[in-house]
A = this chain, B = another copy of it.
Amino acid sequence: MSVLVVGSIAYDTVETPYGSVKDSLGGSALYFSAAASFFDAVNVVGVVGSDFDASKISFLKKRGVNFDGLYVESGDTFRWGGRYHRDLNQRDTLFTYLNVFENFQPKIPAQYREADYVFLANIDPTLQLQVLDQIKNPKLVVLDTMNFWISGKREMLEKVIHHCDILILNDQEARELSDEPNLIRAIKKIANEGAKPKILIVKKGEHGAVLYQKNQFFFVPAYPLDRVIDPTGAGDSFAGGFLGYIAREQNLQAKTLKRALVYGSAIASFNVQDFSFNHLISLKFSELEERFREFKKLTMF
């Protein structure tokens, strides 16, 4: 089995109360891959500019991440700059230079088109739909999005949602998409809106995450960290751990989904303990397993 991800590859400039990095490796497709590759092979589709230093992603290649779908276009790689406040839940975007990403038309290489597990990272829903049109018969499509598309391209987004099996949102996005201030009702409404009920995951930052499927809620707290260095990539590494685990287990039983949510939370908690991929690069699977077990202690009674 393998997992296909279509998303951004970026150079991030990030300031947090603990320091800053300039033009460090980032992007949803890479954070997802770094996490999912703990469990399964990953195929990436994305675009970079001619300024991209391919040696930066060699650590991912060594872990079984395949970059046959990485297109190099003339121009600069996508760049994002952000500043996190003392309260890391607050951040300002300082700049967004789409560069080569502006004209990205995802072309799925032939050998990826029979993908079973697909992650549509947060990009324009029009592109997400183009990706789905090229995949033959996926077992599971997981969709991420953001408030920008909910308010700006709602109709197109709803089309994509119609074709996905699992939708990942944060709590504010869930409230906005459903127009419901009560998060529980928001989740039920979104999950039951289409022709077939969706599995919904809502990320709540420092408050953890919740999974909803078949009228059952499952809650996982955020791993208690007294120092978050850089929250960038938390959502995508979470999604990578989640879908990577499912791809390895090859089933959608409630037990698998719950454990996948915990693995996603565990990897995200490592990711935010340092800038960029600094922590995920050296993370060992045994450390991940250990943190998975710690999550049990956090909620068992």
Contacts and interface: CB of A to CB of B under 8 A. Distances in A.
B188 A226 contact: yes
A299 B258 CA distance: 9
Contact of A184 (B182, B204, B226, B299): B226
A184 B225 contact: yes
Nearest to A262: B301
Contact of A219 (B85, B183, B262, B298): B298
A68 interface: no
Contacts of A86: 181
Contact of A301 (B85, B204, B259): B259
Contact of A296 (B88, B295, B297, B301): B301
Nearest to A181: B87
A298 B258 CA distance: 10
A224 interface: yes
Contacts of A298: 217-219
Nearest to A89: B181
A156 to B, nearest CB: 28
Interface string A201-215: 000101110100000
A217 B226 CA distance: 12
Nearest to A294: B217
Given A188-B226, A207-B204, A207-B207, A299 B218 contact: yes
A182 B273 CA distance: 13
Interface residues of A, number: 39
Interface of A is mostly: mixed
Interface string A189-231: 0000000000000001011101000001111110011111000
A216 B262 contact: no
B226 A181 contact: no
A181 to B, nearest CB: 4
Interface in A242-301: 255, 258-259, 261-262, 295-301
A263 to B, nearest CB: 10
A185 B226 contact: yes
Interface of A: 85-89, 181-185, 188, 204, 206-208, 210, 216-221, 224-228, 255, 258-259, 261-262, 295-301
Given A185-B227, A220-B301, A296-B301, 9 more contacts: A184-B224, A188-B226, A207-B207, A207-B208, A210-B221, A217-B224, A217-B298, A218-B299, A219-B221
Which 8 interchain pairs have the tightest Cβ spacing? A87-B181, A219-B221, A207-B207, A299-B299, A185-B226, A258-B301, A184-B224, A184-B226
9 contacts: A184-B224, A184-B225, A207-B208, A210-B224, A218-B298, A220-B301, A258-B301, A295-B301, A299-B300
